[in-house]
Chain A
Amino acid sequence: MNSLDAHAWLADHGDYLFRVARRQLHSDELAEDAVQETLLAALAAQSRYAGDASLRTWLTAILKHKIVDLIRRQVRETGLPRDEDDAEAVDLLFQQDGHWAEPLKPWGNPQAEAELGQLRRVLDECADRLKPVMAQVFSLREVAGMETEEICKELGITPTNCWVLLHRARLFMRECLTLNGFGGTSA
């Protein structure tokens, strides 16, 4: 490989890597950092690229580690979201006796690709509205499919905090999705 390669990597895969990173980091700035760090790391490690995986697959594997590194850094710098706010928001979803405050509307069952594309956009928008660390932990689990235990360990969060973040993120996401089209005009 020669020095031209890294520039070609950016040209050929930069946008794709950015989209993958953006979906898990929920910040343009952090996603740009992730792409940059990935390409620099790939450059340093290019002799280890065996060539048996596609270049994109190899770069994406490096990106995954960089995404986790960036989230870890973020957790260290800003800490976890303020607990009381989220606890109050959860309280509003339930009555005192633990019943749901409002009945849940069913979601439609979309099949058409155009409809699915629209729903994916709503999903991304709803996740972007969660607090940063909550959104990131949620996406590591639900988008990237990392094991919960591994997420806690990698980010240095206690299992309890980690689980509470995930559960609240799911509750908030479900609300947001129901309010923004999943409740279905087209069910």
Chain B
Amino acid sequence: MKWRVNCREATELFSRTQDERLHLADRVAMRMHLAICRNCTRFARQLQDMRRLLRSGGALEDETAGLSADARQRIETELHQKLKP
């Protein structure tokens, strides 16, 4: 069991917490590292900020980007084919 981890290992552990629950030993090792490391604390904070921003996708409702005229025409044609009796 490893209680001391370096920055590279700590970032891996923190990244993993974004996906699953860590084993106790890993959790302790990560927290001990974060407690003393400003860079990794920033890293952790930034991953959380990134996720928050990515999941607040409300802007999609208002944005103007959309299907190109070509694509729209192609899809129209496909739908039309499908709708033919």
Q: A residues within 8 Å of B by Cβ?
A: 3, 6-7, 10, 14-16, 18-20, 22-23, 28, 32, 35-36, 39-40, 43, 94, 97-100, 103-107, 116-117, 119-120, 123, 139, 141-143, 145, 148-149, 163, 166-167, 170-171, 173-174, 177-178, 182
Q: Which of A97, A116, A143, A149 contacts B55 (CB 8 A)?
A: A143
Which residues of B53-85 are within 8 A (CB) of A? 53-57, 59-61, 63, 65-68, 71-72, 74-76, 78-79, 82-83
Q: Tell me which residues across on chain B come within 8 A of A167, comparing CB atoms.
A: 11-12, 15-16
In the docked arrangement, what's the CA distance between A99 and B63, Å? 41
Q: B53 near A7 (CB under 8 angstroms)? A: no
In whole Å, how far is B77's beta carbon from the nearest beta carbon of chain A? Answer: 10
Majority secondary structure of chain A interface residues (helix, strand, loop or mixed): helix
Given A16-B60, A170-B50 in contact, is the A10-B6 Cβ separation under 8 Å?
Answer: no
In whole Å, how far is B82's beta carbon from the nearest beta carbon of chain A? Answer: 6
In the docked arrangement, what's the CA distance between A98 and B8, Å? 5
Q: Which of B19, B43, B63, B79 contacts A6 (CB 8 A)?
A: B79
Q: How large is the interface on B (under 10, 10 to 19, 20 to 34, 35 or more residues)?
A: 35 or more
In whole Å, how far is A110's beta carbon from the nearest beta carbon of chain B? Answer: 9
Given A43-B83, A148-B19 in contact, is the A116-B53 Cβ separation under 8 Å?
Answer: yes
Q: Tell me which residues across on chain B come within 8 A of A166, comparing CB atoms.
A: 15, 18-19
* Chain B, Cβ-Cβ closest to A4: B83
Known: A36-B78, A149-B20. 19 other contacts (CB 8 A): A16-B60, A16-B61, A18-B65, A23-B60, A36-B74, A40-B82, A98-B8, A100-B7, A104-B46, A107-B46, A116-B53, A120-B57, A123-B54, A143-B54, A143-B55, A145-B55, A166-B15, A170-B50, A182-B46
* Chain A, Cβ-Cβ closest to B9: A98
In whole Å, how far is B12's beta carbon from the nearest beta carbon of chain A? Answer: 6
